[in-house]
Amino acid sequence: MTQLGFYVDTSKCTGCKTCQLSCKDENDLQVGVNWRRVYEYGGGDWFQNADGTYEQNVFAYYTSISCNHCAQPACTKACPTGAMHKREQDGLVVVDGDVCVGCRYCEMACPYGAPQFDAEKKVMTKCDGCYDRVEQGKMPICIDSCPLRALEFGPIDELRAKYGTEADIAPLPDSSLTQPSLVMKASRHAKPSGDRTGRIINTREV
Amino acid sequence: MHELSLVFFTVLAQSTVGMFLILAAMLMVNQDVSRQRILSRGLGAVLVMLGIAGVAAMTHLGHPLRAINVVFGLEHFSALSVEILATSLFGGAVFTFGAMVHFGILPKLQKLVLAGAMALGVLLLLAIANVYTLATVPAWNSGWTIFQFVMTAFVVGIPAAALLLRSQSTLLGAYQKNADRALATLGFLVMGIVLVGYPLYLFWLGQVDLPVNPLGLFEYHGSLMLARLALLFVGMGLWVISATRGSNTAAGLTAISTVLVLIAELCGRIFFYDLHMFASGM
């Protein structure tokens, strides 16, 4: 089985959120439902030097995250109906909206915030890796729309061979929890997962 | 909070199990046939409470009419599917035992069914805790979740069982008075365990590695905690003190106690659900 996954370059991403919006447009998502979310992670402080002057070490960077189509998804394990399942052909994790009972247990379990409750359809929805586009030989809409070319998509083995295996960058959780099909490139200021010197700044957007 | 229906489901289901375990323990050692009939009448209350809990759980679903789909999750041992199965099996076993006593079916097998129902009750308590001990949710992923859920069962279950017995005090006579005093002692001990264990849990909580301080999440948590502990103390105290001083038949007072303790547990559970967050803060 090929496992598809994402590559996110936090050194290129400027936090423009075009990926988030093109996804919303392509999938006709409600207000409040974001299959792709751009987390702004920042921190830093001011220090007084001996001569009375001040210096700062303020930092911020962006991580664009949708669903990482994990090798061991917390959502599918939690799902009481099997509606949340991993496709055999490409390893994408998708919801069968006709089976889902809308109990929101997957939302409780997924540490990436990928499963999103659609209040109108009353079922869970999430990034499906644009598998319909992928079947036509196209890229997911977020990849194609990124003006910085900070996102890539493809077989995770190829992405790992090309870019390495880093997936533990704050604010992402420890990757050993779910083994995400995700490769990250650290930016200059990137902090490791579990970092407490910074915080997610745009909490109301994600 | 969208988990309010789950607050009601978990607290009511646990209280029901606690009340049942008390009644079942009494039925287990009982040899008197007429007393067995009176005691097992209380199982009607157990089933009604479990039914209310079930309805509360259903209101949480986006599509309640599809609820039957939760059986599919048993294939991969979804904690939620197991919990729902345990609830149904427990309810079924209690109903079976009640029906056997009521219609006098297979008297020699009744205690076996009762033991099975008790085991399923304990299993249900653990199954509910298992739903919330998620590796990705640090504030829930500990034995303290089991501690809280099991304590709810007894803290509400004991006064609720005492209330049921008091409602039948004229029929049960001296047996009821003795049972009431024994339950009051047990209730006092359980309250002591909660009042000692809960601060220890809060100490543990304050040291969990989380992006924000779990004890400073919402302004109202201070008053919620005060309400939870005060209602528990007042509710349990009213019944325990009066029972140990010789008032063992007035149902009204025990009813007030049960309601106060139930509200205390609901407050505690709201706090518990508010703690849902990931280590990453995402």
User: B93-139, pLDDT tens digit by residue?
Assistant: 999 999 999 999 998 899 999 999 999 999 999 999 999 999 999 99
CB A142 within 8 A of CB A16: no
Q: Decide if A106 touches B, using CB distance below 8 A.
A: no
pLDDT interval class at B153 (50, 70, 90): very high
Report the DSSP pairing between strands A198-200 and A37-43.
Answer: antiparallel
One domain for residues B128 and B160: no
Q: How far is CA A113 from CA A21, A99, B138, B186, in A?
A: 17, 21, 15, 44
CB-neighbour burial class of residue B273 (10 A; exposed 0-12, middle 13-18, buried 19+): middle
Chain A residue with Cα closest to B133:
A109
One domain for residues B128 and B19: yes
**What DSSP designation does B137 have?**
-
Q: Which chain B residues are Cβ-neighbours of A102 within 8 angstroms?
A: 61-63
One domain for residues B163 and B278: yes
Chain B residue set in contact with A, beta carbons under 8 Å:
2, 60-64, 66-67, 69-70, 72-73, 75-76, 78-81, 84, 131, 134-137, 209, 211, 276, 278-282
Question: Nearest to residue A92, comparing CAs of A201, A185, A2, A186?
Answer: A2
> Is the pLDDT confidence value at B271 over 90?
yes
**Of the partner residues B70, B134, B137, the one whose CB lies closest to the CB of residue A81:** B70
**Of the partner residues A74, A111, A117, the one whose CB lies closest to the CB of residue B282:** A111
Tens of pLDDT, residues B42-92: 999 999 999 999 999 999 999 999 999 999 999 999 999 999 999 999 999
Question: What is the SS3 assignment for chain A?
Answer: CCCEEEEEECCCCCCCCHHHHHHHHHHCCCCCCCCCEEEEEEECCEEECCCCCEEECCEEEEEEECCCCCCCCHHHHHCCCCCEEECCCCCCEEECCCCCCCCCHHHHHCCCCCCEEECCCCEEECCCCCHHHHHCCCCCHHHHHCCCCCEEEEEHHHHHHHHCCCCCECCCCCCCCCCCCEEEECCCCCCECCCCCEEECCCCCC
* Tally of domains in chain B: 2
Q: How far is A72 from chain B (nearest CA, A)?
A: 12
One domain for residues B116 and B151: no
Q: How far is A137 from chain B (nearest CA, A)?
A: 32
One domain for residues B155 and B213: yes
One domain for residues B184 and B269: yes
CA atoms within 13 A on the CB side of A89: 6
Q: Which residue has the tokens 């309601």?
A: B259
Mean pLDDT for A147-174 is: 96
Q: Which chain A residues are Cβ-neighbours of B207 within 8 angstroms?
A: none
One domain for residues B116 and B145: no
> Is the pLDDT confidence value at B194 over 90?
yes
Q: How far is A198 from chain B (nearest CA, A)?
A: 9
β-bridge mates for residue A152, sequence order? A7
> Lowest-confidence range among A24-28, A111-115, B243-247?
B243-247
Decide which of B116, B132, B148 is a domain's last residue: B132
Residue B251 domain boundaries: 137-282
Total number of residues shown for chain B: 282
Chain A residue with Cα closest to B279:
A173
CB atoms under 10 Å from CB of A149, counted, come to: 9
CB A180 within 8 A of CB A167: yes
One domain for residues B204 and B125: no
Tens of pLDDT, residues A176-197: 999 999 999 999 999 999 999 9
Q: Two tokens at A206?
A: 């994600």
One domain for residues B78 and B150: no
Decide which of B132, B164, B188 is a domain's last residue: B132
What is the ipTM metric for this complex?
A: 0.91
**Of the partner residues A65, A74, A194, the one whose CB lies closest to the CB of residue B136:** A74
One domain for residues B5 and B101: yes
Largest CA distance in chain A: 68
One domain for residues B117 and B143: no
pLDDT for residue B1:
77
> Is the pLDDT confidence value at B190 over 80?
yes
Can you say whether the dihedral through the CA atoms of B60, B62, B63, B69 is positive or negative?
Answer: negative
Domains, chain A, in order of start with CATH, read: 4-68+127-200 (3.30.70.20)
| Vertex B272: Cα angle to B78 and B225 (nearest 5) | 165
One domain for residues B164 and B219: yes
Residues 144-183 of A with CB under 8 A from B: 170-174, 177-178
Q: Which chain A residues are Cβ-neighbours of B70 within 8 angstroms?
A: 80-81, 101, 103
Decide which of B90, B111, B132 is a domain's last residue: B132
> Is the pLDDT confidence value at B193 over 90?
yes
**Of the partner residues B62, B79, B134, the one whose CB lies closest to the CB of residue A102:** B62
Question: Letter for the amino acid at B266?
Answer: L
